Amino acid sequence: MANKTALRELQQRLAERMQAARETTLIASWLAVESAGVGLLFSLKQASEIFAPVPIKPVPYAKPWLAGVANLRGGLFTVVDLAVYLGLREVAATRAVAPQARLVSLSTELNLNCALLVDRLAGLRSDEQLPLAAEQPAGPLPRFAGALRRDEAGRHWQEINLEALSKQENFLHIVA
């Protein structure tokens, strides 16, 4: 009899824990990436797929931030080195792609076959995990720069509006 009671109590505690886990499930809103050591956030509504590095064919006489073109799932995509585009690093003489680098394609709703080359993925994040930072950057920001967020470790993450980025004049004329 005592075993049945103990088993029933265990089942009840497990059911309560499972219910609590369901209620506190965080919904991911952001894809966290790093470019030149800077934490960036892409809205999951504006980013599409993540690809492992593939051969990128350079485009002669292109802007320095245009890494080239790549075949992703049978489609030809323009590849933008995001760190170079944002001015976070100079373009290297030889553009070697690190094994942890990834290509993040823009949503098909943005109507551009474009992928952003980032240094590494940092995972999915929710708004609850990344509250707005108390201090926001001073001065003018590009239209594609959203709010600054901070994680529990104190690291800053900059929102990047991929739709606004894709509509930048210098970006659009090269990529479209």
> Are the beta carbons of 171 and 165 closer than 8 angstroms?
yes
d(CA 127, CA 131): 6
Find the mean pLDDT for residues 60-85: 94
| pTM of the shown model | 0.82
pLDDT at 141: 80
The H helix count followed by the E strand count for the chain is 4, 10
What 3-state class would DSSP assign to 142?
Answer: coil
**pLDDT above 70: residue 19:** no
pLDDT digits over 95-143, tens only?
678 889 999 999 999 999 999 999 999 999 999 999 999 887 777 788 9
43: β partners: 30
Residue showing tokens 């800053």 = 156
pLDDT level of residue 156 (50, 70, 90 thresholds): very high
Average pLDDT, the chain: 87
pLDDT at 94: 58
Find the mean pLDDT for residues 44-52: 95
